[in-house]
Structure 1
């Protein structure tokens, strides 16, 4: 009972904090897809403005591996809890700052420069937020239901995306949306910061981390994970890189594609995101629970293979321009397939790495690949569609390749469902209290 009572506030703090992170993150993606090209770049150059907005979006991912390594280093050295408080603050305050920025018309070239700087700060904080929440929940969960519990921060991700999309959709209806209305969702982030901080100050440090502290912590956890579990780290990187591209192609680029290329109202793409996120909130814990029953690899592989088979039919549905088919295609592709893979990656990643450097291992696997594939994906897709004269087949083909690549990586990974997190796969030879 004590463990259950302790787990609940910890999980709530992790889910709310992660929801805030992805509220901030999704807002920037929505802004980049719909309004940033007009606000922060020269008027009369729509393609250049779209590329500039997506470039600013991608820049944030360049800061994520640096922030991930820095915060995860101290998360493995000082504790999980302090880093989660710091990342929450950095993410939230950066988002509020974006809502206060001057436009290109008001400040000229300073406007996109300031936007990019705040996006870098946002990315630096995001680099270890989800990884830290994931590690805290997984280390405190019932081993028999770790897939379920570890998937809940993933549901928080979808909750943040859903909330951001709802708020952004609401303000697009304002007559003043393109003057000041778009700023409102960014400024509202301050409320989430307050709630998140209150919850995170209530939780206790991970018991597994405290046990590891007594045995002796790693001095350089990022280096140690690369030295002691190089094959596992490479597999985690190989699984995350194509998955990240898939997620941002369906979560960010498709919104721009249906609005700019197909000429549909923004409400169609936003409605698709809303329904996809709502479905993802519901099915993410179910996929986590299923992975507790049948294993991590079968569930992940099933979702990846289905997405690969669905890629071309999905874009055929989108290209009809029929709102119902667009919404259905995005809901199945993102709300079911992507959320299923995301749910399983939560427990898989935390079970692959030892406690001594788990935070660092998860952060490296997620954030280094985010910089390489997730952030640039919408930018690359925009260029591919432009080069193909507006055709969607290059994007469908890209999805097939990414789905196949992440499936191969999953096949190479060990099945971790029964992993005991109290045991280290690569036991370091140190005395209790000593540091490596």
Structure 2
């Protein structure tokens, strides 16, 4: 494959993931700042926020389902077709959220419809990650797979950055009207992004290892999910646990932490701007740690990042909760930018290399999306519940995060090193 084709493939993985995660993380930002007041205003402040985070969690619960469904057809029909379908589903759901009537207008139907649209978002992004990661990884030479897979993984923080900048700009422009109608504009903007993404993705070819696998005549293949659960259950569980720390960083710092800072009186625009700055750091560190994993191995990078995160976890929670912009800024740049970035870089290649070609889409998606459901989907709710249980104190949140990070380090040490292994179909 020539350099031009590889650049097109990597660009497609990155831009497509940016657009899909813009939609998905935009919802997380709105759940922190808007939905508790628009769709759950009849509840008390604490419980309204909890309900808003519950709708956020629904999307993460749906992600493993998306990984299973898209993984099944991605392992049977190909990676490319699933990427186009996932983008169309995501764009449609996001635009519909942008025109959804509020609870004051249509009553209980509003939050019900919000939840249903969030489920569609979850299914779509659950299928997106596996396809985008494998499209890059399966085209790349062995010594550059970590970096190639990182182009898909960098789409998360890059999409988050784009969502944050758009929400921050709209918040500044609409002022007091932001909670009335301004919040809808970033959701409607998704229609433009989806059209751009579809044009790019339709020009990319199927991966060579899948084409070779699919060309083998007379091969009997089980349903991918059945084969994953029968032959590779340990790989699913261990890689899921290894990925939890990465997703807890996201849930605690960019969702729960944002809500905590704004509730403490920190200016909303400043919080969003620092969240955006942290996302820039995340993307840069993500690529660096992925490239490093091609040189010294995935396990070494993930172990080092996990140990550093464990040491920093409690101080970061204390900074996050001190009610100042400098505390939030320091916590989000270090925790989200450096720590999450270091964990995010190798994770796509690390998970994918644990599964053979014929079930890689399903196995990797099941593991990664299961971790996203538990780590990012429930973490804001868990943190909110721990604060309520602790009478307003956040120390239990710090302990919870440390336990998750340590479990991830242990899980990484229990897996094989995948850097450099052949991905040829069996």
Task: Give TM class, smaller chain.
Answer: over 0.9
Moved more, 14-23 or 387-396: 387-396
**Residue 56 and residue 300 in structure 1: after superposition, are their counterparts in 2 closer, same or farther (change >3 A)?**
same
Query: 2:200, 2:361 → 1: CA distance?
Result: 21
Q: Cα RMSD between the aligned structures?
A: 1.5
TM-score, length-scaled by structure 2: 0.96
Equivalent residue number for residue 134 of structure 2 = 135
Q: Does 1:24 align with 2:23?
A: yes
Residues 1:233 and 2:241 are matched in the alignment: no
Say whether the 8 Å CA contact 1:20–1:193 is kept in structure 2. yes
Q: Which residue of structure 2 aligns with residue 427 of structure 1?
A: none
1:183 aligns with 2:184: yes
Per-residue Cα deviation, 1:250-280 (whole angstroms, up to 9, x for no partner): 22111111122x2322234312311110111
User: Residues 10 and 127 of structure 1: is their aligned pair in 2 closer, same or farther, counting only changes over 3 Å?
Assistant: same
Unmatched runs of 5 consecutive residues or more in structure 2: none
Q: Which residue of 1 aligns with 2:249?
A: 246
Listed as ranges, the matches of 1:20-419 within 5 Å are 20-43=19-42, 45-173=44-172, 174-175=174-175, 176-215=177-216, 216=219, 218-260=221-263, 262-419=264-421
Contact 1:127 1:367 in 2 (8 A): yes
For the residues of structure 2 that align with 1:338 and 1:205, how far apart are their CA atoms? 30
Normalising by structure 1, we get a TM-score of: 0.94
Task: Give the CA deviation at 1:156.
Answer: 1.8
| SS of aligned partner of 1:53 | helix
- Note if contact 1:60-1:122 (Cα within 8 Å) is conserved in structure 2: yes
Q: Deviations over 1:39-91 (max 9, x none)?
A: 11234621221111111101112211112111110000011100000000101
Q: Distance in 1 between matches of 2:390 and 2:18?
A: 36
Structure 1 Cα separation of the partners of residues 163 and 154 of structure 2: 14
Indicate the larger mover: 225-234 or 337-346. 225-234
Shift of 1:159: 1.2
Q: SS at the partner of 2:16?
A: helix
After superposing the two structures, state which structure 1 stretch, 341-350 or 363-372, moved more.
Answer: 363-372
- Secondary structure, in 3 states, of the residue corresponding to 1:417? coil
| CA pair 47-217 structure 1, distance change in 2 beyond 3 A | farther
Distance 1:341 1:364 in 2: 19
Report how far residue 140 of structure 1 moved.
Answer: 0.2
Is this contact kept in 2: 1:246–1:403, CA < 8 A? no
d(CA) in 2 for partners of 1:312, 1:242: 14
Q: Which residue of 1 aligns with 2:7?
A: 8
CA contact (8 A) 2:274 2:332 kept: yes
1:10 CA drift (Å): 1.4
Once the two structures are overlaid, the 10-residue window that deviates more, 201-210 or 240-249, is: 240-249
Confirm or deny: 8 A CA contact 2:59 2:119 kept in the other structure: yes
Closer, same or farther in 2 for the Cα pair 1:272/1:218, shift >3 Å? farther
Cα distance change of structure 1 residues 394 and 36 upon mapping to structure 2, 3 Å threshold: same
1:417 to partner: Cα distance = 1.0
Per-residue displacement from partner, 1:215-246 (whole Å, max 9, x unpaired)? 23633011112222232222112212343233
Q: Distance in 2 between matches of 1:409 and 1:44?
A: 40
User: 2:415, 2:253 → 1: CA distance?
Assistant: 25
Q: Distance in 2 between matches of 1:9 and 1:217?
A: 33
Q: Distance in 2 between matches of 1:203 and 1:353?
A: 24
How many corresponding residue pairs? 422
Take 1:221 and 1:231, find their aligned partners in 2: how far apart are those partners? 16
Cα drift, residue 403 of structure 1: 0.7
List 4+ stretches of structure 1 deviating above 4 A. Answer: none
Per-residue deviation, 1:183? 0.3
What's the CA shift for 1:423? Answer: 5.3
Distance 2:240 2:286 in 1: 22
SS in 1 for 2:178: coil
How far 1:195 sits from its partner (Å)?
0.6
Tell me what 1:432 maps to: none
